[in-house]
Amino acid sequence: MNIGSLTAELFFGFIALFILTKVLGKTQITQLTPFDFISSLILGELLGNAIYDSETNLWMIFYAVAVWGGLVYGIEILSQKVKGMRKMLEGAPSIVIREGLIVREELKRNKLDVNQLQNLIRQKGYFSMREIHYAILETNGTISVLPKYMYGSANREELHLQGKEAELPVTVIIDGETIYDNLKTAQLTENMLNQLLSNQGFHSIKEVMYAEMVEGELHAMPIQLPKKIRSTH
């Protein structure tokens, strides 16, 4: 392979990956799901092998990037349109500490031991398990922490302030669809949910982009419809 051919293929490969990354809308490395991470590795491997294979031309590189990128893009669209696919492709968050107690079954399911859990919690600035009320292992491997009331950003115990324990919000609506599995956790029925939405001025669940129950109250966000462009004459 001569220098000119290698330069052309490297340049073309760089442009192709840049465009594909923009189209797919990839997040930062620390925010990649396992599926995104594996897809990125395979895409890089395909392009690297194609560039340094003397029998590979520019069209073959384009074909490899286009086919793999199309598959990944199709999966991303599918996971957006079919909510049942999200859990399978992206995984689901796991509550590893619930109300101050470690959930051993969730640790085992996520191949996580207590030492690793302590490490993740320390990275969030908490050095004792007694400070944690809830801890959620996210799909990208990071952990989100809800501290106990007295160990929040301001130390209520030292300030002698009265308060109550924090409550974990429960998501009940996403993209205009009810999350029925969470209704029981939120101690709601479908009729109760509809009544709460009606009290806030919603006529249908389809009007709600996101809703969660927290501390006995429903917090709902409407779907923002695009504004019609006024025609000028």
The answer to whether residue 228 sits within a structural domain is: no
The answer to whether residue 233 sits within a structural domain is: no
Strands 143-147 and 132-137 come out as antiparallel
The answer to whether residue 80 sits within a structural domain is: yes
Backbone angles phi, psi at 124, to 5 degrees: -90, 0
pLDDT at 111: 86
> Domain total for the chain?
3
Confidence band of 216 (pLDDT split at 50, 70, 90):
confident
**How many CA atoms lie within 13 Å of 112's alpha carbon, on the beta-carbon side?**
25
Listed residue (45, 42, 47) closest to 18, CA to CA: 47
Same domain for 82 and 62, yes or no, is yes
Confidence band of 195 (pLDDT split at 50, 70, 90):
very high
The last residue of a domain, from among 65, 88, 111 = 88
Does the structure show a pLDDT above 80 at 116? yes
Which CATH number do you get for residue 216? 3.30.240.20
Segment of 34-43, 56-65, 115-124 carrying the highest mean pLDDT:
115-124
The last residue of a domain, from among 134, 159, 184 = 159
Q: In what order do the strands lie in the sheet with 143-147?
A: 101-102, 94-98, 132-137, 143-147
Same domain for 175 and 154, yes or no, is no
As a whole number, mean pLDDT of residues 177-181 equals 87
Same domain for 59 and 110, yes or no, is no
Does the structure show a pLDDT above 80 at 135? yes
Percent of the chain scoring above 70 in pLDDT: 66
pLDDT at 24: 58
Confidence band of 21 (pLDDT split at 50, 70, 90):
low
Write the CA distances from 125 to 7, 147, 151, 170, 201, integer angstroms: 47, 10, 11, 25, 41
The answer to whether residue 232 sits within a structural domain is: no
As a whole number, mean pLDDT of residues 157-164 equals 62
Does the structure show a pLDDT above 90 at 199? yes
As a whole number, mean pLDDT of residues 177-189 equals 87
The last residue of a domain, from among 131, 159, 187 = 159
Confidence band of 196 (pLDDT split at 50, 70, 90):
very high
Same domain for 177 and 153, yes or no, is no
Same domain for 201 and 176, yes or no, is yes
Same domain for 74 and 120, yes or no, is no
Same domain for 188 and 211, yes or no, is yes
Percent of the chain scoring above 90 in pLDDT: 11
Task: Tell me the average pLDDT of the chain.
Answer: 76
pLDDT at 221: 83
pLDDT at 66: 76
Does the structure show a pLDDT above 60 at 134? yes
Backbone angles phi, psi at 217, to 5 degrees: -120, 150
pLDDT at 233: 39
Which residue range(s) make up the domain with 16? Answer: 3-88
The answer to whether residue 81 sits within a structural domain is: yes
Radius of gyration for the alpha carbons in the chain, expressed in angstroms and rounded: 24
Same domain for 134 and 59, yes or no, is no
Same domain for 192 and 137, yes or no, is no
pLDDT tens digits along 77-97 = 777 777 766 666 667 789 999
Confidence band of 229 (pLDDT split at 50, 70, 90):
very low
pLDDT tens digits along 9-19 = 667 767 766 67
pLDDT at 52: 67
